[in-house]
Amino acid sequence: MSKQVPGKFVTFEGVEGGGKSSNIAAVKTFLEAQGKQVVTTREPGGTPLAEEIRTTLLRPRDEPVDEMAELLLVFAARAQHFNTFIKPALAKGTWVLCDRFTDATYAYQGAGRGLSVDTIATLETLVQGDVRPDLTLLFDLDVGLGLERARGRGALDRFEQQEQVFFERIRTLYLQRAHTESYYRLVDASASIETVRADVQTIITQFLSC
């Protein structure tokens, strides 16, 4: 019997308003046309339990949320999602397209909330072992423009209610990681929808040919 080739793990990152979601759907359609088995999912979330944790994390509340409590909730959701959904799918040879993953934790809980990289890295290894994305598309754009787009969508969640400077720290961290982590590819998300779509397709085509 031939050995199953593991699927690829592709994540989509960036500050709010970068257009990740619509591009994930386009990448799925593109990959399926190439004969790939593909699932899409998101973090926090992706399973019923993890989606409940997402609701808890995103709901605005009067009580101040402790940074460590937030971090542990993010990784609790991730443990459930990773072990019951992502890992089995990859093992079956399915491509997993995930709207945010642990790079978002380095950005939001690390750069945004000020938690240490070492703490996040420890939890990352505890939950995921040595699994990291094969490819991460970073949808980068001016924070003000992204927030304007996101805030035009309606009621703000607990993260979207943060000051602009919080998102500036997050963008800076993502751009730093784009330079240091070889699995990153940068997408200029301030370009037109058509240009962004074409850039994403070029990146995926290049990745497929590797």
21 is in an annotated binding site: yes
| Cross-strand partners of 139 | 187
> In the complex with ligand TMP, which residue's Cβ is closer, 99 or 199?
99
Smallest separation, CB 207 to ligand TMP (Å)? 22
Identify whether the C-beta of residue 186 lies closer than 8 Å to the C-beta of residue 140.
yes
Residues that bind ligand TMP (CB under 6 A): 42-44, 74, 99-100, 104-105, 108-109, 159
Smallest separation, CB 90 to ligand TMP (Å)? 18
How many angstroms separate the most distant Cα atoms in the chain?
58
Residue 151: how many other CB atoms lie within 10 Å: 14
Residue 60 preceded by cis peptide, ω within 30: no
> In the complex with ligand TMP, which residue's Cβ is closer, 159 or 183?
159
Smallest separation, CB 40 to ligand TMP (Å)? 12
27 is in an annotated binding site: no
> In the complex with ligand TMP, which residue's Cβ is closer, 109 or 128?
109
Smallest separation, CB 105 to ligand TMP (Å)? 4
Residue 72 parent element (H or E): helix 67-81
> In the complex with ligand TMP, which residue's Cβ is closer, 109 or 136?
109
> In the complex with ligand TMP, which residue's Cβ is closer, 72 or 193?
72
Nearest alpha-carbon partner for 120 in 135, 108, 105: 105
20 is in an annotated binding site: yes
14 is in an annotated binding site: yes
Smallest separation, CB 141 to ligand TMP (Å)? 14
The per-residue DSSP string of 94-136 comes to -EEEEES-HHHHIIIIIIIT---HHHHHHHHHHHHTT---SEE
Residue numbers belonging to the annotated binding site for ATP:
14-21
